[in-house]
Structure 1
Amino acid sequence: MTQIARAARPVRRVRRTVQAVALALSLTAAAACSGGAGDDGKVKVGLLVSLSGTYKSVGTDMRSGFELYLDTHGGKLGGREVELSVADEGDGPPTAVPAATKLLKKDRVDVLTGIVGGGSFNAVLPLTKRSGIPLIGSNGRPEVKDVSNVWHTSYLSDEPGEAIAEYVKKKVDGPVYAIGPDYQGGHDELRGFTTAFEKAGGKLANSDGKTRWTPFPKTTNFTPYFADIAKSGAKAVYCFYAGKAAIDFVKQYAQSDVADLPLYSAGFLTEGSTLPAQGKAAKNIYSSLNYAPDLDNEANRTFVADWTEAHDTTPTTYAMSSYDAAAVLDKAISAAADAGKEITPKTVNEAIGELGQLESPRGTWEFGDRTHAPVQKWYLRQVRPDGKKLDNVMVQDLATLGD
């Protein structure tokens, strides 16, 4: 059963302090009263993703990836029926926090997964810590000090840029202009590239030697920024954008005075529904990602076939990582049950930590001991013709990252 949570209406300022105290008390009480996977034996899973706003396409794929795993596994995880509650993260903390609160307080979920934005992740994390349930993120994530109940099936947000930085330094004879959105995820993504690029001996073309930030989410006209790039003497551009912002950036880039400069990016720039919307403007863009749909392994062949049958499109890293979040829960719940343990948030969290290597559409990976994020390969992709359409075609391995 899927429930779409609606964001809470604005409340008067005079009530906010009282409500905040009440929320903290109720979450603590809920954790204390939680006895396991529900009185009916079902596992209650909360899925928090963007179903509106800039990253609607990302969140939709994440929801579909999780649901695909359930659909192809009899609606069960670890042999248990699943009650799936879905809530809209929107564009960040103002909508993500009330949506997560609803999942925790009203739906009383046993585990929370999803979350598109880094800002949303940081805002929701204290709620899951207080409630004592596992949080299995399935999109980019910032660094977290206490990962005792935090797991991730996608990547740390600085890794896409870190993975491609040395390749860009070798291929580009001159300075590179760095640009991205001004919010938590953008800062993490660009820091990963600029730090690794400069460490490899590269130089930024930006006039102050720092990344150029574009206001998020309101920037839709990138023309003034392209004018700055043209004056910088850059020999190439590196960026991070996703969703609607990626469509606007790429289409305008192709029509700008810097269209002849090679464009490198984190893979989200051309991922999923953004690529057909960009059309020919995206041709030849190089990107770094932990997944490509043409990877040749058994798990990916199964995943691609099932996804294509259900959606008639190419699967994305967003769908894959959420699909893997369901797979992690499936294996962890089975392991806990096989060990004769009651299925509770605590036993599931412990079982996740003992899973070891996991077979995935991206290839084999495992959780890092320090970060609880994947130790995994990263791939270089290029937008090329694949039959009658453009696609992200895998070019080569880039690096294996993770602690």
Structure 2
Amino acid sequence: MTLRRHQLRTRILAAAAVLALTAAAGCSGSAASGDQQPTGGPLKLGLILPQSGPYKSIGDDIGRGWQFYLDTHGGKLGGHAVEVVTADEAEGKQTAINSAKKLLDKDRVVAIAGTGTADSVESIKTLVTERKVPFVGTGGRPSTLTDLSYIWHTSWLSRETGQAIAQHLRTAVDGTVYVIGPDYVGGHDQIGGFVDAYTGAGGKLANDDGKPAWTPWPATTNFLPYLNKVQTSGAKAVYCFYAGTAAVDFVKQYEQAGLKGKVPLYAAGFLTEGAVLAAQGPAADGVRTVLNYAANVDNAANRSFAPAFQAKYSAAPNIYNVTGYDAALVFDLAIAAAGDTPTSQSINTAIGKLGAIDSPRGSWRFGTAHSPIQPWYLREVQNDGRARANVVVQNLTTLGS
């Protein structure tokens, strides 16, 4: 063999070796492989939260609950050191999917948690399913999901909130109810869940056309034109769904419109949950809401969690703190069960095998819809002896399947 032919053959073999190594690396950990694996060092997890936009306060609360779990468990999940990479959800839609792509393609996380809105889940559902990376949601969950193979929620199904309080309003309110909410996926699920259950039980809407009033989201900040219609509708109560900055505007303007004290205001619990309650001030007093947690829920886990959280953050915990906390708890249990070298697939399989979750909201477990089977409570804004708070006044029902 001539020297020139020997050099050419050597180069070809070297190139083939490089290609083989590249292919092997791709099979063991590429985003497209469907089983992302750690490359050494801490286990990388993604956390998508609204860090800007109208739901920023919700993102702050979810993140605080997530971090509280890590801080009280030595910064480890399932015995593994973790590196948490955060990304902005903003108002959902394109921002959410861009963040999810970055977490998967650049940061190469093995799992993702977070999101505050159903819009964001709707945006990223196809991506996480195609990549076969487990996603544990902490906020709104749309009714449009069909493939739940890699999608789980520690929060709620968006239609359940209204369903949980519908029968109570049917019997407690002597007359029609005016219904109003934001015009987006989460709003339609939240309000639709109430309307279907309420009218199905024989209840009547006070709205002129017998249909809920929809406000453009997130553009609506002036609710007075809508609230003026409540005045002339003859409604005996109002039921709504709003959260974040819209919740502050709605509650304050409800009082400005002269409705407070005249027409009882009921709502999905997000209306007075978290930081918005302090911003609403006395305008929120007496508002009754439905939700799956309050700081005064009495169970062993919450008797430990709530005082410790209060001591650290000088604020009573809320449902957003709990869904973030529970997402970390779910990963802690699943990663521990996923073997010495957890992968996206083994973590997802382990989540599916989890039993009861000992949460501050009470023991719950994943149902067939990959969301909690859990109790729902009627709450009222009142002074709990320390500050204005959402206080449980009645157990309503248990939902989930």
Q: Taking structure 1 as the reference length, what is the TM-score of the superposition?
A: 0.90
Structure 2 matches for 1:388-399, cutoff 5 A?
A: 388-399=386-397
What is the match of residue 115 of structure 1? 115
* CA 95–31 in structure 1, closer or farther in 2 if over 3 Å, else same: closer
What is the match of residue 161 of structure 2? 160
Task: Confirm or deny: 8 A CA contact 1:270 1:392 kept in the other structure.
Answer: yes
Q: What letter matches 2:361 in structure 1? A: R
Looking at structure 2, the residues matched to 146 and 291 of structure 1 have their Cα atoms a distance apart, in angstroms, of 28
* CA 207–100 in structure 1, closer or farther in 2 if over 3 Å, else same: same
Structure 2 matches for 1:118-133, cutoff 5 A?
A: 118-133=118-133
1:31 positional shift: 3.0
Q: What letter matches 2:235 in structure 1? A: A
What is the match of residue 277 of structure 2? 275
Q: What letter matches 2:373 in structure 1? A: V
1:147 positional shift: 0.5
Task: Confirm or deny: 8 A CA contact 1:142 1:185 kept in the other structure.
Answer: yes
Segments of structure 2 that go 5 or more residues without pairing to the other structure are: 1-25
Structure 2 matches for 1:128-277, cutoff 5 A?
A: 128-143=128-143, 144-259=145-260, 260-277=262-279
What is the match of residue 101 of structure 1? 101
SS of the residue corresponding to residue 366 of structure 1 reads strand
Looking at structure 2, the residues matched to 395 and 245 of structure 1 have their Cα atoms a distance apart, in angstroms, of 25
What is the match of residue 399 of structure 2? 401
SS of the residue corresponding to residue 210 of structure 1 reads coil
1:303 positional shift: 1.7
1:41 positional shift: 4.4
Q: What letter matches 1:97 in structure 2? A: I
Give the root-mean-square deviation of aligned CA atoms.
Answer: 1.7
Looking at structure 2, the residues matched to 137 and 49 of structure 1 have their Cα atoms a distance apart, in angstroms, of 10
- 1:332 paired with 2:334, answer yes
Task: Confirm or deny: 8 A CA contact 2:36 2:108 kept in the other structure.
Answer: no
Encode CA deviations 1:86-117: one digit per residue, 9 max, x unaligned: 11100121321211111111111100111111
Q: What letter matches 2:86 in structure 1? A: V
Q: What letter matches 1:360 in structure 2? A: S
Looking at structure 2, the residues matched to 269 and 128 of structure 1 have their Cα atoms a distance apart, in angstroms, of 30
Q: What letter matches 1:59 in structure 2? A: G
Between 216-225 and 296-305, report the one with greater CA deviation: 296-305
Q: Return the match for 1:289 from 272, 278, 291.
A: 291
Task: Confirm or deny: 8 A CA contact 2:61 2:320 kept in the other structure.
Answer: yes
Looking at structure 2, the residues matched to 388 and 31 of structure 1 have their Cα atoms a distance apart, in angstroms, of 49
Looking at structure 1, the residues matched to 276 and 209 of structure 2 have their Cα atoms a distance apart, in angstroms, of 31
Q: What letter matches 2:241 in structure 1? A: F
What is the match of residue 5 of structure 2? none
SS of the residue corresponding to residue 156 of structure 1 reads coil
- 1:313 paired with 2:311, answer no
Task: Confirm or deny: 8 A CA contact 2:36 2:109 kept in the other structure.
Answer: no
- 1:364 paired with 2:363, answer yes
1:385 positional shift: 1.5
What is the match of residue 13 of structure 1? none
* CA 192–351 in structure 1, closer or farther in 2 if over 3 Å, else same: same
Q: What letter matches 2:353 in structure 1? A: E
What is the match of residue 78 of structure 1? 78
Q: What letter matches 1:251 in structure 2? A: K
Which of 1 and 2 has greater Rg?
A: 2
Task: Confirm or deny: 8 A CA contact 1:227 1:257 kept in the other structure.
Answer: no
Looking at structure 1, the residues matched to 126 and 112 of structure 2 have their Cα atoms a distance apart, in angstroms, of 13
Q: What letter matches 1:333 in structure 2? A: I
Identity %: 51
* CA 35–375 in structure 1, closer or farther in 2 if over 3 Å, else same: closer
Q: What letter matches 1:201 in structure 2? A: G
Looking at structure 1, the residues matched to 153 and 127 of structure 2 have their Cα atoms a distance apart, in angstroms, of 17
What is the match of residue 349 of structure 2? 350
What is the match of residue 303 of structure 1? 305
Task: Confirm or deny: 8 A CA contact 1:36 1:342 kept in the other structure.
Answer: no
SS of the residue corresponding to residue 365 of structure 1 reads strand
* CA 295–388 in structure 1, closer or farther in 2 if over 3 Å, else same: closer
SS of the residue corresponding to residue 140 of structure 1 reads coil
1:126 positional shift: 1.2
Looking at structure 2, the residues matched to 331 and 324 of structure 1 have their Cα atoms a distance apart, in angstroms, of 10
1:306 positional shift: 2.6
Looking at structure 2, the residues matched to 100 and 197 of structure 1 have their Cα atoms a distance apart, in angstroms, of 37
Looking at structure 2, the residues matched to 366 and 248 of structure 1 have their Cα atoms a distance apart, in angstroms, of 35
SS of the residue corresponding to residue 384 of structure 1 reads strand
1:308 positional shift: 1.4
SS of the residue corresponding to residue 274 of structure 2 reads coil
Task: Confirm or deny: 8 A CA contact 2:163 2:194 kept in the other structure.
Answer: yes
Looking at structure 2, the residues matched to 399 and 344 of structure 1 have their Cα atoms a distance apart, in angstroms, of 37
Looking at structure 1, the residues matched to 30 and 211 of structure 2 have their Cα atoms a distance apart, in angstroms, of 46
Task: Confirm or deny: 8 A CA contact 2:290 2:376 kept in the other structure.
Answer: yes
Q: What letter matches 1:57 in structure 2? A: S
Encode CA deviations 1:291-333: one digit per residue, 9 max, x unaligned: 0111111211222123212211111101101100100110111
Looking at structure 2, the residues matched to 321 and 216 of structure 1 have their Cα atoms a distance apart, in angstroms, of 24
* CA 285–400 in structure 1, closer or farther in 2 if over 3 Å, else same: same
What is the match of residue 51 of structure 2? 51
Encode CA deviations 1:348-394: one digit per residue, 9 max, x unaligned: 1111111111110000110002x101100001100111124211001
1:34 positional shift: 6.9
What is the match of residue 18 of structure 1? none
Between 143-152 and 235-244, report the one with greater CA deviation: 143-152
Looking at structure 2, the residues matched to 184 and 32 of structure 1 have their Cα atoms a distance apart, in angstroms, of 29
| Large movers: runs of 4+ above 6 Å | none
